[in-house]
Amino acid sequence: MKAIDVIAAVLLVIGGLNWGLWGLFEFDLVAAVSGGNTVVFARFVYVLVGAAALYQALSVSGIQSRWSNATA
C-alpha cells in the first residue's frame, strides 16, 4: 500500500502547485503541459488529483498506522 500512498502524495503536490500557480498568476500548469485544460490528458490528470485527494482524506488513519509500523 505504500506505493499508492506515495503516488497519491505526488499527485497532491502536483495539484497543490497547480492551484498555487493559478491563484498567484492565473497559470494552469497542467493545461500548459498538456496543451489545454479540455484535452483528455489534462482532464485525466485533474481526475487523478481529485481521486488522490479523496483517497488521502478517507485513509489518513490507515496511512499513519502503516507508516508508523514500517519505521518501528
- According to the model, what pLDDT value does residue 49 have? 96
Average pLDDT by consecutive 10-residue portion of the chain (72 residues)?
88 95 95 91 94 90 69 54
- According to the model, what pLDDT value does residue 52 have? 95
Region for residue 28 given its phi and psi (left: phi exceeds 0; alpha: psi -120 to 50; beta: otherwise): beta
**Could you tell me which residues come within 8 angstroms of residue 27 by beta carbon, excluding any fewer than 6 positions away?**
21
Report whether 71 contacts 31 (CB < 8 A): no
- According to the model, what pLDDT value does residue 1 have? 67
Q: Per-domain residue ranges for the chain?
A: 2-71
- According to the model, what pLDDT value does residue 48 have? 95
**Could you tell me which residues come within 8 angstroms of residue 49 by beta carbon, excluding any fewer than 6 positions away?**
11, 12, 14, 15, 18
